[in-house]
């Protein structure tokens, strides 16, 4: 079974600053996908960014980027120029075939 670990229960960032969320995972697979999802309070989960394990290039989506270290099984998310709307719970997730395995989440608060 794959396990996903998010070691930071909470992170706080000043508006316009940068915050990095950590994620590590355990797998024996070589081909898989990694995701970061955002879940605002009382709102639905939305995809932030995805990374295919066979791609060496780190994925980026506007202000969101990842640092994917396959050998270290590490997949961190960097949020640049943080905005108030970025406040949410962020989940790291792993998928090799069908089901997603999620970490426990990191709550991000943005200070105005």
Partner 1 sequence: DTGVSQDPRHKITKRGQNVTFRCDPISEHNRLYWYRQTLGQGPEFLTYFQNEAQLEKSRLLSDRFSAERPKGSFSTLEIQRTEQGDSAMYLCASSLETGQETQYFGPGTRLLVL
Contacts with partner 1 by CB under 8 A lie at 4, 33, 35, 37, 43-47, 50, 52, 91, 93, 95, 97-105
Select 57 or 112, whichever has its Cβ closest to partner 1: 57
What CA–CA distances, in Å, run from 80 to 15, 44, 62, 71, 100? Answer: 10, 22, 9, 25, 26
Select 67 or 95, whichever has its Cβ closest to partner 1: 95
Q: Give the shortest CB-59-to-partner 1 separation in angstroms.
A: 12
Backbone angles phi, psi at 32, to 5 degrees: -160, 175
Backbone angles phi, psi at 56, to 5 degrees: -80, -30
Between CA 10 and CA 27 the distance in angstroms is 25
Q: Give the shortest CB-83-to-partner 1 separation in angstroms.
A: 22
Q: How deeply is 47 buried, as exposed, middle or buried, from its count of CB atoms within 10 A (0-12, 13-18, 19+)?
A: exposed
Q: Give the shortest CB-68-to-partner 1 separation in angstroms.
A: 16
Select 55 or 111, whichever has its Cβ closest to partner 1: 55
Q: Give the shortest CB-15-to-partner 1 separation in angstroms.
A: 25
Select 4 or 19, whichever has its Cβ closest to partner 1: 4
């Amino acid at each position: 079974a794959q396990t996903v670990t998010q070691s930071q229960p909470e992170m706080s960032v000043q508006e316009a600053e940068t915050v990095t969320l950590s994620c590590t995972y355990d797998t024996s697979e070589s081909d898989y996908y990694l995701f970061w999802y955002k879940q605002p309070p009382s709102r639905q989960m939305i995809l932030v960014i995805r990374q295919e394990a066979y791609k060496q290039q780190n994925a980026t989506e506007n202000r969101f980027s990842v640092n994917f270290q396959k050998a270290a099984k590490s997949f961190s998310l960097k949020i640049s120029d943080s905005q108030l709307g970025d406040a949410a719970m962020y989940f790291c997730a792993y998928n090799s075939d069908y089901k997603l395995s999620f970490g426990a989440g990191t709550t991000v608060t943005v200070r105005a």
